[in-house]
A and B are shown apart, each in its own frame.
Chain A
Amino acid sequence: KNQVEQSPQSLIILEGKNCTLQCNYTVSPFSNLRWYKQDTGRGPVSLTIMTFSENTKSNGRYTATLDADTKQSSLHITASQLSDSASYICVVRDWDSGYALNFGKGTSLLVTP
């Protein structure tokens, strides 16, 4: 059973609008949670990382939040740009194994003019 669930599966927004992507996970305990951006035809690239004790982390127009009690994270994109069109993947690193990464299936975002 997948331990990281993302929603929505896909999303279309107009350029300049904001959006929020959701990630629910059951991985416990975990060492960190990352959001990756994957452009078409390329490998995933890390946007943000949060450890258990962190609630929010920003990277430019990207802001990630983490609620470790409810095991939820979100990625908020502000003032979207066409280049934000990509798949966004939530990844939770397992504490016990020390190396295992649990991947969500991603949210496919399309920003239109």
Chain B
Amino acid sequence: DAGVIQSPRHEVTEMGQEVTLRCKPISGHNSLFWYRQTMMRGLELLIYFNNNVPIDDSGMPEDRFSAKMPNASFSTLKIQPSEPRDSAVYFCASRGQGINTEAFFGQGTRLTVV
């Protein structure tokens, strides 16, 4: 398995534009997470899906952020409109069932909003 695949790896966009980040989890994993990482705050959970259903989106900062998981092999995180303070590295992670299973992270998308 190629692991969790995220695209794009880097994204530079102008303030106000729509940004869509994509994630393909590991096949067979039923949990998917979106995280945001900044120097100041470290890794923060944005949203958690279980069996394609959003379970916890309390970490989504504003209505400008939305996430979908239309099927078990694909998820998107959308920011519309983007702002400079959204600049960060966004990670997608997936995990199989079981209390002690490991969450595997993608390589991340480095987003810069200018």
Contact = CB atoms under 8 A, between A and B. Distances in A.
Given A42-B107, A43-B91, A99 B102 contact: no
Contact of B100 (A2, A32, A103, A105): A32
Contact-size category for A: 20 to 34
A46 B106 CA distance: 13
Contact-size category for B: 20 to 34
Interface in B37-74: 41-45, 48, 50, 55-56
Interface string A41-62: 1111110010100000000000
7 contacts: A32-B100, A41-B108, A43-B4, A46-B103, A49-B100, A89-B43, A100-B45
**Smallest CB-CB A-B distances: 9 pairs:** A43-B105, A105-B42, A103-B43, A46-B102, A44-B105, A31-B99, A32-B100, A103-B42, A43-B107
